[in-house]
Amino acid sequence: MINLKSILSIFFPKRCPFCGEVIATNKVICKNCEKKINVKAIKNTLTTRSGRRFLCIAPFAYVEPIRSAIHDYKFRGAKSFAVPFGRYISDILRETVDTTKMDLITSVPLHKARKRERGFNQSEIFAREISRITGIKYVETLKKVKNNKVQHELSLDQRAENVKNVYAVLDKTLVEEKRIIICDDILTTGNTMAECANMLFKSGAKEVIGATIANVENRRK
Protein backbone atom coordinates (compact mmCIF):
# COMPACT_ATOMS: atom_id res chain seq x y z
CA MET A 1 0.00 0.00 0.00
CA ILE A 2 1.31 3.44 -0.86
CA ASN A 3 1.05 5.74 2.08
CA LEU A 4 2.75 8.96 3.11
CA LYS A 5 5.30 7.08 5.20
CA SER A 6 6.47 4.93 2.28
CA ILE A 7 6.68 7.94 -0.04
CA LEU A 8 8.68 9.89 2.51
CA SER A 9 11.01 6.91 3.03
CA ILE A 10 12.17 7.21 -0.62
CA PHE A 11 13.41 10.72 0.04
CA PHE A 12 14.33 10.29 3.69
CA PRO A 13 15.29 6.62 4.15
CA LYS A 14 15.33 5.36 7.71
CA ARG A 15 18.87 4.87 8.94
CA CYS A 16 20.51 2.84 11.68
CA PRO A 17 21.44 5.42 14.35
CA PHE A 18 24.58 3.45 15.22
CA CYS A 19 26.24 3.31 11.77
CA GLY A 20 24.06 5.28 9.35
CA GLU A 21 23.17 2.25 7.18
CA VAL A 22 19.75 2.45 5.45
CA ILE A 23 17.26 0.12 7.17
CA ALA A 24 13.71 -1.07 6.54
CA THR A 25 10.99 1.17 7.98
CA ASN A 26 9.93 -1.55 10.45
CA LYS A 27 13.49 -1.88 11.84
CA VAL A 28 15.14 0.31 14.49
CA ILE A 29 18.76 -0.74 13.89
CA CYS A 30 20.74 -2.62 11.18
CA LYS A 31 21.61 -6.34 11.34
CA ASN A 32 25.34 -5.76 11.91
CA CYS A 33 24.82 -3.40 14.83
CA GLU A 34 22.16 -5.67 16.28
CA LYS A 35 24.82 -8.38 16.58
CA LYS A 36 27.16 -6.00 18.40
CA ILE A 37 24.82 -4.49 20.97
CA ASN A 38 24.19 -7.62 23.05
CA VAL A 39 20.68 -7.13 24.40
CA LYS A 40 20.24 -8.39 27.94
CA ALA A 41 17.47 -8.15 30.47
CA ILE A 42 19.24 -6.70 33.50
CA LYS A 43 17.03 -6.56 36.57
CA ASN A 44 17.91 -5.10 39.94
CA THR A 45 15.92 -4.51 43.08
CA LEU A 46 16.68 -1.13 44.66
CA THR A 47 15.63 0.15 48.07
CA THR A 48 14.61 3.75 48.78
CA ARG A 49 15.82 5.50 51.94
CA SER A 50 12.34 4.90 53.38
CA GLY A 51 12.84 1.18 52.88
CA ARG A 52 10.55 0.65 49.87
CA ARG A 53 11.86 -1.90 47.40
CA PHE A 54 11.29 -1.58 43.67
CA LEU A 55 12.48 -3.19 40.46
CA CYS A 56 14.77 -1.58 37.88
CA ILE A 57 15.22 -2.96 34.39
CA ALA A 58 17.65 -2.22 31.54
CA PRO A 59 18.26 -3.86 28.15
CA PHE A 60 21.99 -3.11 28.04
CA ALA A 61 25.13 -3.16 30.14
CA TYR A 62 27.01 0.14 30.04
CA VAL A 63 29.68 -1.02 27.57
CA GLU A 64 30.59 -0.21 23.93
CA PRO A 65 28.91 0.49 21.56
CA ILE A 66 26.05 1.44 23.90
CA ARG A 67 28.25 3.74 25.98
CA SER A 68 29.14 5.91 22.94
CA ALA A 69 25.55 5.78 21.69
CA ILE A 70 24.25 7.17 25.00
CA HIS A 71 26.97 9.82 24.96
CA ASP A 72 26.00 10.94 21.43
CA TYR A 73 22.35 10.84 22.38
CA LYS A 74 22.84 13.06 25.42
CA PHE A 75 25.56 15.45 24.38
CA ARG A 76 25.37 15.56 20.59
CA GLY A 77 21.60 15.57 20.36
CA ALA A 78 21.45 12.28 18.39
CA LYS A 79 17.77 11.88 19.18
CA SER A 80 17.31 9.09 16.61
CA PHE A 81 18.74 6.74 19.27
CA ALA A 82 15.51 7.22 21.24
CA VAL A 83 13.77 4.88 18.78
CA PRO A 84 15.94 1.75 19.38
CA PHE A 85 16.37 2.59 23.07
CA GLY A 86 12.58 2.88 23.45
CA ARG A 87 12.00 -0.36 21.55
CA TYR A 88 14.48 -2.47 23.55
CA ILE A 89 13.30 -1.10 26.91
CA SER A 90 9.66 -1.72 25.94
CA ASP A 91 10.50 -5.35 25.09
CA ILE A 92 12.02 -5.95 28.56
CA LEU A 93 9.14 -4.13 30.27
CA ARG A 94 6.61 -6.31 28.47
CA GLU A 95 8.33 -9.54 29.50
CA THR A 96 8.76 -8.32 33.11
CA VAL A 97 5.47 -6.64 34.03
CA ASP A 98 1.90 -6.51 32.80
CA THR A 99 2.21 -3.15 31.03
CA THR A 100 -1.59 -2.90 30.64
CA LYS A 101 -1.77 -2.50 34.43
CA MET A 102 0.70 0.40 34.55
CA ASP A 103 -0.96 3.82 34.82
CA LEU A 104 1.73 6.13 33.59
CA ILE A 105 5.29 6.56 32.45
CA THR A 106 7.43 9.46 33.61
CA SER A 107 11.09 10.50 33.61
CA VAL A 108 13.78 11.75 35.97
CA PRO A 109 13.69 15.52 35.40
CA LEU A 110 16.60 17.81 34.67
CA HIS A 111 16.94 21.10 36.48
CA LYS A 112 15.49 23.84 34.26
CA ALA A 113 18.90 25.47 33.84
CA ARG A 114 20.39 22.16 32.63
CA LYS A 115 17.44 21.48 30.32
CA ARG A 116 17.82 24.94 28.79
CA GLU A 117 21.51 24.28 28.21
CA ARG A 118 20.96 20.83 26.61
CA GLY A 119 17.72 21.74 24.87
CA PHE A 120 15.93 18.54 25.86
CA ASN A 121 15.63 15.96 28.62
CA GLN A 122 17.16 12.77 27.21
CA SER A 123 15.12 10.54 29.52
CA GLU A 124 11.84 12.19 28.55
CA ILE A 125 12.50 11.61 24.83
CA PHE A 126 12.88 7.83 25.08
CA ALA A 127 10.17 7.61 27.78
CA ARG A 128 7.77 9.19 25.26
CA GLU A 129 8.89 6.58 22.73
CA ILE A 130 8.08 3.78 25.24
CA SER A 131 4.72 5.48 25.79
CA ARG A 132 4.07 5.43 22.02
CA ILE A 133 4.99 1.72 21.79
CA THR A 134 3.17 0.44 24.89
CA GLY A 135 0.24 2.86 25.02
CA ILE A 136 1.02 3.82 28.64
CA LYS A 137 0.48 7.57 28.86
CA TYR A 138 3.43 9.86 29.48
CA VAL A 139 3.02 12.28 32.40
CA GLU A 140 5.49 14.74 33.94
CA THR A 141 5.36 14.00 37.67
CA LEU A 142 8.58 15.36 39.15
CA LYS A 143 10.64 18.52 39.11
CA LYS A 144 14.21 19.08 40.14
CA VAL A 145 14.16 21.74 42.82
CA LYS A 146 17.91 22.04 43.35
CA ASN A 147 20.65 22.16 40.71
CA ASN A 148 22.98 19.74 42.47
CA LYS A 149 26.46 18.63 41.45
CA VAL A 150 26.78 16.11 38.61
CA GLN A 151 26.67 12.62 40.17
CA HIS A 152 29.59 11.09 38.24
CA GLU A 153 31.98 13.78 39.52
CA LEU A 154 31.42 12.70 43.14
CA SER A 155 32.64 9.84 45.28
CA LEU A 156 30.19 7.03 46.01
CA ASP A 157 29.57 8.32 49.55
CA GLN A 158 28.88 11.85 48.34
CA ARG A 159 26.42 10.65 45.70
CA ALA A 160 23.75 9.42 48.12
CA GLU A 161 23.89 12.74 49.99
CA ASN A 162 23.94 14.80 46.76
CA VAL A 163 20.51 13.62 45.53
CA LYS A 164 18.64 13.96 48.84
CA ASN A 165 15.62 16.29 48.60
CA VAL A 166 16.62 17.39 45.12
CA TYR A 167 13.37 16.18 43.51
CA ALA A 168 9.76 17.07 44.29
CA VAL A 169 6.44 15.73 43.03
CA LEU A 170 4.63 18.31 40.88
CA ASP A 171 1.16 17.38 42.12
CA LYS A 172 0.28 14.57 44.51
CA THR A 173 -2.93 13.74 42.64
CA LEU A 174 -0.87 12.79 39.56
CA VAL A 175 0.83 9.88 41.33
CA GLU A 176 -1.48 8.86 44.17
CA GLU A 177 -2.55 5.19 43.88
CA LYS A 178 -0.72 4.96 40.53
CA ARG A 179 1.53 2.26 39.09
CA ILE A 180 4.42 4.21 37.59
CA ILE A 181 7.34 3.48 35.28
CA ILE A 182 10.13 6.02 35.70
CA CYS A 183 12.91 6.43 33.12
CA ASP A 184 16.49 7.57 33.49
CA ASP A 185 19.33 7.12 31.00
CA ILE A 186 21.87 5.13 33.02
CA LEU A 187 21.66 3.27 36.31
CA THR A 188 24.98 3.78 38.08
CA THR A 189 24.78 3.73 41.88
CA GLY A 190 20.98 3.84 41.71
CA ASN A 191 20.87 6.85 44.05
CA THR A 192 19.02 9.14 41.62
CA MET A 193 16.47 6.47 40.70
CA ALA A 194 15.92 5.52 44.35
CA GLU A 195 15.47 9.15 45.38
CA CYS A 196 12.87 9.78 42.63
CA ALA A 197 11.06 6.54 43.55
CA ASN A 198 11.17 7.67 47.19
CA MET A 199 9.32 10.89 46.32
CA LEU A 200 6.74 9.02 44.22
CA PHE A 201 6.09 6.50 47.03
CA LYS A 202 5.87 9.36 49.57
CA SER A 203 3.11 10.90 47.46
CA GLY A 204 1.18 7.64 47.44
CA ALA A 205 2.38 5.75 44.34
CA LYS A 206 1.23 2.13 44.54
CA GLU A 207 4.09 0.71 42.48
CA VAL A 208 7.26 2.09 40.89
CA ILE A 209 9.38 0.42 38.22
CA GLY A 210 12.64 1.97 37.10
CA ALA A 211 13.65 1.69 33.44
CA THR A 212 17.02 2.74 32.05
CA ILE A 213 18.89 2.28 28.76
CA ALA A 214 21.95 0.82 30.44
CA ASN A 215 23.06 -0.50 33.76
CA VAL A 216 26.59 -0.09 35.09
CA GLU A 217 27.24 -3.61 36.27
CA ASN A 218 29.51 -4.35 39.23
CA ARG A 219 28.30 -1.19 40.94
CA ARG A 220 28.31 -1.06 44.73
CA LYS A 221 25.05 -2.36 46.22
**What single-letter amino acid sits at 199?**
M
Cβ-based neighbours of 131, under 8 Å, separated by 6 or more: 105, 137, 138
Q: Which of 2, 5, 14, 18 binds Zn ion (CB under 5 A)?
A: 18
Element (H or E) spanning 18, and its range?
Answer: none
Orientation of helix 122-134 relative to helix 82-96, angle to 10°:
60
**C-beta neighbour count of 42 within 10 angstroms:** 18
Segment near Zn ion (CB under 5 A); pick from 16-24, 87-95, 176-184, 205-213: 16-24
**What single-letter amino acid sits at 167?**
Y
Is residue 24 part of the contact set for Zn ion (CB under 5 A)? no
Is residue 22 part of the contact set for Zn ion (CB under 5 A)? no
What's CA 127's distance to the chain center, in Å?
Answer: 6
Contact 214, 186 (CB under 8 A): yes
Q: Which of 14, 28, 30, 123 binds Zn ion (CB under 5 A)?
A: 30
Segment near Zn ion (CB under 5 A); pick from 22-30, 49-57, 131-139, 191-199: 22-30
* Whether the bond into 109 is cis, omega within 30 of 0: no
The distance of closest approach from Cβ of residue 94 to Zn ion in the complex, given in angstroms and rounded to an integer, is 24
Q: Which of 14, 16, 186, 216 binds Zn ion (CB under 5 A)?
A: 16
The distance of closest approach from Cβ of residue 39 to Zn ion in the complex, given in angstroms and rounded to an integer, is 14
The percent of the chain in helix, strand and coil, each rounded to the nearest 5, is 40, 20, 40
Q: Which of 7, 19, 39, 156 binds Zn ion (CB under 5 A)?
A: 19
Contact 147, 174 (CB under 8 A): no
Is residue 81 part of the contact set for Zn ion (CB under 5 A)? no
> Which lies closer to Zn ion via its Cβ, residue 35 or residue 101?
35
Is residue 104 part of the contact set for Zn ion (CB under 5 A)? no
Contact 125, 115 (CB under 8 A): no
The distance of closest approach from Cβ of residue 214 to Zn ion in the complex, given in angstroms and rounded to an integer, is 18
Contact 126, 89 (CB under 8 A): yes
Segment near Zn ion (CB under 5 A); pick from 33-41, 83-91, 161-169, 171-179: 33-41
> Which lies closer to Zn ion via its Cβ, residue 28 or residue 130?
28
Is residue 183 part of the contact set for Zn ion (CB under 5 A)? no
> Which lies closer to Zn ion via its Cβ, residue 20 or residue 135?
20
Is residue 28 part of the contact set for Zn ion (CB under 5 A)? no
Chain residues that interact with Zn ion, rule: CB under 5 A = 16, 18-19, 21, 30, 33
